[in-house]
Amino acid sequence: MHHKDPSTSEELPEESELVQRLIGNDQQLFMAVVRAWYPSLYSVAAAIVGHSIADEVVQEAWLSVIKALPKFEGRSALKTWVTRIVANEAKNRYRKESRSVSMEAVDEHWATDSRIGTDPRFDGSGHWNQRNPSWDIGSPDELLAAKELQDCVDKHLSRLPEQQKNIMELRDSAGLEFEEICNILEVSSSNARVLLHRARDKIQQVVAKFQRTGEC
């Protein structure tokens, strides 16, 4: 029995055959799997490191997958296992890229800080490569779109604890389900929900303060 990955029209073999053929170096099947799973794997990588190097992260992760595949024990679905490798590669790359960025130096000069260019989460103007979702805070669209507010939100997103940031980005930006997020980050569902709530609450407080005072 064959199945179709929901993100593609290409048919892939069932799990056991898929694993064995990949271990057996079936190059044609490998390329089909890469094409089929790329959109979701890219979304996971981009949620953690931004769009600028997400493709590179996915490619590096596939190299790790090839090396580790003979040791795959089938404790989870193959795609879940591969997704976790992508997430780990992204987290490691994020830490590496962020070492040159001192969080203590991120202050009111954030939007013009020349070091922003070294951080893959930002574009040349200092904004997130992955735009933020629209939180249900009842604020005018024009205020949410204001550059000053966006700069403020970007700053506080970057300062969130890593797990909170990752869960918020995977859920709100990449649109993953909680079960998949928990498998990727290896956290319990209850813990993930608490972390997401804390992250959203922090950002909502930031926006509410900006609306009330005009200050970040």
In the prediction, which pLDDT does 185 show? 84
Domains of the chain: 1-99 (1.10.1740.10), 104-216 (1.10.10.10)
Angle, helices 78-98 vs 54-68, to 10°: value is 130
d(Cα 188, Cα 164) in Å, to the nearest integer?
Answer: 13
pTM of the predicted structure, to 2 decimals: 0.58
Which pLDDT tens digit goes with each residue over 148-201? 777 788 888 888 998 898 888 888 777 788 888 888 888 899 999 999 999 988
**Cα dihedral 43, 125, 200, 140 sign:** negative
Count Cα neighbours of 28 within 13 Å in the Cβ-side half-sphere: 3
Q: Is the pLDDT of residue 5 over 70?
A: no
Three-class SS state of 11? strand
